[in-house]
Amino acid sequence: MKTIHIGSDHAGFELKAKLSAFLTQCGYIVSDHGTFSKESVDYPDYAHAVAKAVQSHHERGVLICGSANGVAITANKHAGVRAALCWKEEIASLARAHNDANIICLPARYISVEEAEKMVKTFLETDFDGGRHLNRVQKIDC
C-alpha cells in the first residue's frame, strides 16, 4: 500500500476531503497535511508540508487550492519536487510520463470532483517513460 500526501488551503478543503475518501477507497494510505476547515489560511503552509513529505519519503502528493498556481509555485521550490498544475486527465498523464511529476496540483474552483478523481487516478497509475525524457528531468533542479 502506498502513502499519498495531500494538502490544501481553504478553497480546496472540500475537494481534499472527497479525494482523501476516494484515495482510501482505492487502497492508498492518505497522509493529510491540512488544512482542516474552510477558515481562510495561507496556502504555502500546506504546500511546503506536502512537498517536504514527498521530498523526504520519495512518495507522491496531491495539492489543492483555488487555482492551483500558488501551491504549484510553492511546492516547486523544493529540490526533487516536480509539482504539476493539472486541469484535465491528459495533462496529468503527461506530467507523470514525460516530467516524472511527483505532486499533482488541482484547481478546486475550476474542476469537478469527478474530473479530480480521474486526474488523480491517472497521475498515480502512470509510470515515468524515462528514455529521452530522463535527460530533461535531470536538468530541472538547480
Domain boundaries, the chain: 3-138
Split at pLDDT 50, 70, 90, the class of 17 is very high
**Which fold is adopted by the domain 3-138?**
Ribose 5-phosphate Isomerase B; Chain: A, (3.40.1400)
Which pLDDT score, from 0 to 100, does residue 1 have? 67
Cβ neighbours of residue 138 closer than 8 Å, sequence gap 6 or more = none
What does the pLDDT look like over 87-137, one tens digit per residue? 999 999 999 999 999 999 999 999 999 999 999 999 999 999 999 999 999
Q: Does the global pTM surpass 0.85?
A: yes
What does the pLDDT look like over 27-36, one tens digit per residue? 999 999 999 9
Q: How large is the angle between the packed helices 89-99 and 113-125, nearest 10 degrees?
A: 20
Contact in structure between 46 and 12 (CB atoms under 8 Å): no
Give the catalytic positions in this structure: 65, 98
What letters, b where the CB count within 10 A reaches 16 and e where it falls short, cover 68-99?
bebbbebbbebeebbbbbbbebebbbbbbbbb
